[in-house]
Amino acid sequence: MPKAIRKLPLPIVVFGLTLILICAGARFFIIESFIQLEKREMQRNVDRAVRLISEDIDHLNTLCSDYSGWDDAYKFVQDRNNKFIVDNLSPETFAKLRLSVLSYYDFQGAPVYEGAYDLDHGIGAKFPASLREHLVHTQTLTNFAAPSDNRFGILNLPEGVLLVVAKPVITSSYKGPIKGTLVMGRFLSPKTVARIADNLKLPLKIVAIDNKPQSEEFAQVRQLLAAGQKLALKTDQSGQIYGYTMLAGLSGEPALILRVDAHRSIYHEGEKSVAYFLGWIIICGGMVTGIFAWSVRRLADSHKETERSEERHRLVVERTDQGILLVDPGTHIVLDANPAFCLLVGQSLQDLVGTSAFTFINGDKSSIDETIERAKHEKRELSLIHRDGTKLVSEISITSIPTETGTADCYMFHDISMQRRFQDELLHQATHDQLTGLPNRSLLNDRMVQAITGARRRGDLVALLLIDLDHFKVVNDTMGHATGDMLLKSVANRLLSFVRSSDTLARFGGDEFVILLTCISNMSDIITVAENFSGLLAIPFVIQDRDYFMTASVGIAVFPDDGDSIDVLVKKADTAMYNAKELGRNGFQFFAEEMNLKMNSRLRVETQMRRALERNEMQLHYQPKLDIRSGTINGLEALIRWHNDSLGMVSPAEFIPIAEASGLIVQIGEWVLETACKQTLIWHNMGHASLRVSVNISTRQFVRPEFVDRIADIIEKCGLPAQFVDLEITESALTHNISETITILQRLKAMGVTISIDDFGTGYSSLNYLKRFPIDTLKIDKSFVDDVVERTEDAAIVATIIAMAHHMNLNVVAEGVETLEQLDLLKKGGCEEIQGYLFCKPQTAEGLTDFLESFRRKGCTLLKYKNR
Ligand SMILES: Nc1nc2c(ncn2[C@@H]2O[C@H](COP(=O)(O)O[C@H]3[C@@H](O)[C@H](n4cnc5c(=O)[nH]c(N)nc54)O[C@@H]3COP(=O)(O)O)[C@@H](O)[C@H]2O)c(=O)[nH]1
């Protein structure tokens, strides 16, 4: 079988073979029926030919009756008168009656008249000797017993096949006695055969059966017909069909074979019909086969695709990380499960099938039932229990799917434990402080909303305690951030142990913490908490084997008295906390309306200050510094003054912190430096060429990246040599970032300016960084000088500062010297310079010019007095 056919699907091959069989069968039966039709047609034609020959015999019979039952003929056979012959038996009569022979015989059988005519050529002919022989010897045609007797048939003569009729000669009234015999005959000559064929409308051939050798065709046919067949048929290549039949002679012997020729039109029609039929069958069959093959292929393809799709679905179900469980909807019995679900619950498929799905689901039956019902419409969360007891958070959705027996519920589980943990983590990160793990501002806001809502409902109080650690920055700056972080964590833990579980402890950032107290029934409860809090920090924090003593300033705002919104409460607690700081730190303050007024006043100051410089409201005063060893004024400090129309005279102690907080200090500070430098240059030009001017630098100025460049620009612009400029910087500004500070100071020193540490002793005063800073002078804070005479501790501090400064080759200036006793003590202690009301109060530029001039003229009366 060819490979292409072998590749075809079996149904197509079977269908094709069936089609071929149908075609072959159809061809056979149709052709066969046409052959039979053809045979019947030929039979009819042959019968017609035989009938036409019979009709010729009948014609002869009629003629013979006319010429035998005729008184003239009756008389002629008796008297043999020639007239009868002349009148009735002329050649025209032969031609007209189409007679080949006509003969009369007397009653003894002796010929009376024998005439013959060649019908083919239309001339008289010789009477056939074989016929005479036959008539005389056999007398079968002349020997009649009754007037009605007759003989007719075919005579096979050597001269040809003769149709012959014989009747007794009787009177015209057909009565005897018989006086003779009339014989009439007609040869089946070519013309006669042609005439019959003409009537037949088909070619006709007649072959006499005699002893002469016959053609193979007729020999075969004769054999067939001799065997009793009425009709024999033959066909040839030229599309002709030949019908043969055999006719018997007078005495019953085979006389002739008659052949009718016909075109095989029926057969060819049959063939054409078969061709059409098969053509259609093949076309239709081909189309049907094609469609069938196409359908089969489509069916096969779709079957394969279905198989592949099913395989894919099977693999998806097997390999998906979604747990899939098929459950009986009525009983919740597990019908099937995929590997992912088995993994989720740590069970084998065998263990799962047949058990209740509820076995692996955490929760009570009614809640599981409810979740399952809802999961049919939307995704729900469900907790699964693993074989080892762990619980997994999963998302479940349920769809109903058809099965062979009805429907099943398809539970789809998506393990979201990791996602949930991640979300929890994210949520925790978003709502908690990373360092301490405490709630951050965002979570505190939520808790406050809840707390205020609850308090509103219950009618009780909520207290917000804003805690700011005192001087924490110093620890951070000096001990490093790592230590600072550890300290913050320790503080957080201690605070945590302090608050109730219903309260919230949060970290606001930096060193600020918030305690939110809920369910408070009266103010005294809050006071108790605040007082206890102070004791909480009394015990030192031990970080890396070092003790840290911490205090905190606490501001308290209370709902509903101080406000009913989070922002207001936080703001008021903040204000209260600042107040606590201002009141010396290490304490708590409830918010009071005065504080608010103070804040508002700060705001008013800030608003006015913004336009102060352009309105020329700022002015500089100068306070000289006296070298108590030489009695000369070698420096002065520029101190800002501000007079505003609406605020009046505003102290720098009041507006400088506000300028620092608002950032305006940068602009103000630069104006101070420029004005001071320009004024100092004027005094230089007046002959006070050794004067150095000290300018206060605030932290906000110092930490700006462009600080050094701005100082250099201003000094250069003013034209005062840099060595006559001294920058007073507070300890806290310097300790902001130690390494950065060192770089800045080195750059300033490189320019030629000198550096003084202002308010020395009030900060952390660490020798550790002091020795690393390139500074020139320590200014002992006024607070130590104030009580240096009365308090031995302060005297000791001052002495220590002076000794330390000298040890480090630093100059010492004592500020705020108001009495001769203070001066005396400082001088004895080795202090080089003083600044204070005792010597000179801050003066306007003009005032100080006068003072300098007078000083130049009179010298220092103060020292003279002292020296006396
Ligand atoms: N950043 C800037 N700060 C400045 C500037 N000008 C002043 N200030 C700071 O404001 C604070 C208050 O200053 P002021 O009211 O000017 O007080 C100074 C002196 O007037 C005062 N003083 C001096 N001697 C005495 C005295 O014998 N008795 C007494 N009661 N007060 C005295 O001390 C202040 C000097 O302060 P200090 O800077 O520490 O030397 C103050 O902190 C100023 O620093 C400015 O332009 N920029």
pLDDT digits (tens, 9 = 90+) for 627-649: 988 889 989 999 999 999 999 99
Ranges of residues in the chain whose predicted pLDDT is under 50 = 867-868
Residue 697 CA: nearest ligand 1 atom is: 1
pTM for this entry: 0.45
Instruction: Look at residue 764 in the predicted model and tell me its pLDDT.
Output: 64
Laid out side by side, the sheet with 180-187 consists of: 123-124, 111-118, 101-106, 180-187, 160-169, 151-157
C-alpha 805 to ligand 1 mean position (Å): 22
CA–CA separation, 636 vs 647, rounded Å?
A: 28
Q: Dihedral sign, CA of 107, 108, 113, 114?
A: positive
Cβ(833) – ligand 1 distance below 6 Å: no
Query: Which residue owns the Cα nearest ligand 1 atom 28?
Result: 816
C-alpha atoms less than 13 angstroms from C-alpha of 70 in its C-beta half-sphere: 17
Cβ(654) – ligand 1 distance below 6 Å: no
Residue 835 CA: nearest ligand 1 atom is: 24
Cβ(635) – ligand 1 distance below 6 Å: no
Instruction: Look at residue 868 in the predicted model and tell me its pLDDT.
Output: 39
3-class SS of residue 701: helix
Q: Which of 267, 275, 223, 280 is nearest to 241 (CA)?
A: 267
Q: What is the DSSP letter of 122?
A: T
Laid out side by side, the sheet with 380-385 consists of: 334-337, 323-327, 406-415, 391-403, 380-385
What is this model's ipTM?
0.94
Which amino acid is present at 113?
A: Y
Tokens of 849: 């010019």
Cβ(53) – ligand 1 distance below 6 Å: no
The torsion of the CA quartet 94, 95, 100, 103, rounded to 10 degrees, works out to: 0
Cβ(840) – ligand 1 distance below 6 Å: no
Say if CB 185 and CB 165 are below 8 A apart.
yes
Residue 837 CA: nearest ligand 1 atom is: 27
Say if CB 694 and CB 635 are below 8 A apart.
yes
Cβ(653) – ligand 1 distance below 6 Å: yes
pLDDT digits (tens, 9 = 90+) for 782-814: 999 999 999 999 999 899 999 999 999 999 999
C-alpha 701 to ligand 1 mean position (Å): 17
Instruction: Look at residue 489 in the predicted model and tell me its pLDDT.
Output: 95
Residues 6+ apart with CB under 8 A from 674: 714, 717, 718
Instruction: Name the residue of 639, 642, 677, 817 whose CB sits within 8 Å of the most ligand 1 atoms, as the mutation to test its pocket.
Output: 639
